[in-house]
Amino acid sequence: MSGAQGKAAEIAGAVGIIAEVDYSRIETRHSQGWVSEVARTSEEAYALAKEYVKKGEPCAIAYHGNIVDLLDYAVENNVHIDLLSDQTSCHAVYDGGYCPQGINFEERTRLLSENKDEFIKLVDKTLIKHFDLIKELHNRGVYFFDYGNSFMKAVYDAGCMEISKNGVDEKDGFIFPSYVEDILGPQLFDYGYGPFRWVCLSGKEEDLEKTDKAAMEIIDPNRRYQDRDNWAWIRDAKKNALVVGTQARILYQDAMGRTNIALKFNDMVRKGEIGPVMLGRDHHDVSGTDSPFRETSNIKDGSNIMADMATHCFAGNCARGMSLVALHNGGGVGIGKSINGGFGMVLDGSQRVDDILRTSMPWDVMNGVARRAWARNENSISTVIEYNKMCEGKDHITLPYIVDEQLLNEVMEKNISK
Ligand SMILES: NC(=O)c1ccc[n+]([C@@H]2O[C@H](COP(=O)([O-])OP(=O)(O)OC[C@H]3O[C@@H](n4cnc5c(N)ncnc54)[C@H](O)[C@@H]3O)[C@@H](O)[C@H]2O)c1
């Protein structure tokens, strides 16, 4: 449990139950206010959830126990669930990331070090049971989505072919959509919206508040619902108590939103209104990641298994002068399953930094939007058209020529019949 799930449920006005086998994790998140209630049994967890739903109040409930036991109970007792996902660490499923059913957290730790073969057997058995329960709940109307933790890949690796879309291998993906395919890709990444972030290096809370206010002034909440959501997110950020250490903020923004916010912050540093700021972003973004099981799973032009976009992103950011540029393997879904290009950029208030931001920030985002446009994603095509208009004479992204399907079929038929 990272805490994010509980916080997200409460911010979104939902009642959420988050299963966690490690009680120390629950204690931390409960003391920080990231979960509001703690349940020791499945029965107690669902009863609490029912109570909050009835009151019409959002609540994050931590359930101490195995997720498979929680789902077992839901299937047996016909509990209604609207949304279901999994965020166990399936990218490291045999190294302790996933706790088998039937043993507690301490027994799992012992078994992992003393008898790994037995541990692996139990993990596989639990994964398959987990999948069967999700399938049953899905048949009853539950919306299940993959959270990008390699859960479906882990089920497939445990020997369950039924989870693969083509029934043979994982090359065409899995039967349940990843949230990137269904939600994040078409609604955010296609436009360039991604997790831009900044850290106030002064460590002062007041600097973070000033940057929040400045970012809010740059977003036009009336342009799209995505802008409205992000505007509301930053407006309520302080109230939602999201900071546990570093004075840092994360905000979904598109290419020009990120560029304009970055320039504004650099200007504030120049004027002495705030201390220096370090910009960055999550690897889980539009442009920086090639990951066929997550970020690029919905790129339908056959290039979903390529790994060149993250490299372009990395090299372009280096050439444009970012302060810290990284190219690495892993990033979320695990080593061998993705390539990530990331950056860090120190805003020191200088003109030199302004110049770097003007070319590197759009590159860091539009590189990925361009690829999505070439994959014929409609929202990316319109985003590129808008970008080209805005940057006329300075920058230009090529677009695919969309061939009329009927014309193509006619030409093929005519020539093949010849
Ligand atoms: N989509 C995203 O944006 C995103 C973001 C963060 C993490 N992730 C992925 O999600 C996964 C988890 O990330 P994290 O940072 O929360 O990891 P984490 O290891 O901190 O948390 C996972 C928790 O699951 C618990 N757990 C394991 N097996 C369990 C079981 N059977 N029942 C109940 N609890 C169990 C563990 O004790 C652990 O606390 C990773 O694979 C990560 O890559 C995705």
How confident is the model over 245-300, as pLDDT tens digits? 899 999 999 999 999 999 999 999 999 999 999 999 998 899 988 887 777 776 76
CATH number 3.40.640.10 is the correct assignment for the domain at 185-390: no
Question: What is the rounded average pLDDT of the residues 323-348?
Answer: 87
Range 224-247 average pLDDT: 93
Identify the band that residue 32 occupies on the pLDDT scale cut at 50, 70 and 90: confident
* CB-ligand 1 contact for 2 (6 Å cutoff): yes
pLDDT digits (tens, 9 = 90+) for 51-84: 999 999 999 999 999 999 999 999 999 999 999 9
Q: How many CB atoms lie within 10 A of CB 97?
A: 16
How far is residue 64 CA from its own chain's centroid?
25
Average pLDDT, rounded, for the chain: 93
Q: What is the pLDDT of residue 417?
A: 67
Ligand 1 atom nearest the C-alpha of 97 is 27
The answer, yes or no, to whether residue 334 has pLDDT greater than 80, is no
Identify the pLDDT of residue 298.
65
Residue 403 corresponds to which tokens in the numbers above? 């061939």
Bridge-based pairing of strands 194-200 and 277-281 is antiparallel
* Cα 76 to ligand 1 centroid, rounded to whole Å: 25
316, pLDDT greater than 80: yes
String of DSSP letters for 273-300 = SS--EEEEE-SSSSSSEE-TTTTTTT-T
Ligand 1 contact via 9 beta carbon (within 6 Å): no
Shortest-distance Cα residue to atom 9 of ligand 1: 149
Above pLDDT 90, what percent of the chain? 77
Under the banding of pLDDT at 50, 70 and 90, the label for residue 3 is confident
19 lines ligand 1 (CB under 6 A): yes
Query: Residue 120 C-alpha to ligand 1 middle, in angstroms?
Result: 18
Percent of the chain as helix, strand, coil, to the nearest 5: 50, 15, 35
Pocket test for ligand 1, best of 34, 73, 88 (most atoms within 8 A of CB): 88
Taken in order 308, 313, 317, 323, is the CA torsion positive or negative? negative
pLDDT at 362: 97
- Residue 202 has a CB neighbour count (10 Å cut-off) of 15
pLDDT at 165: 86
Q: What is the DSSP string of 122-140?
A: HHHHHHHHHHHHHHHHHHT
Q: What are the sequence ranges of the domains in the chain?
A: 4-178, 185-390
- Does ligand 1 lie within 6 Å of residue 67's CB atom? yes
Looking at the domain that runs over 4-178, which CATH code has it been given?
A: 3.40.50.10730
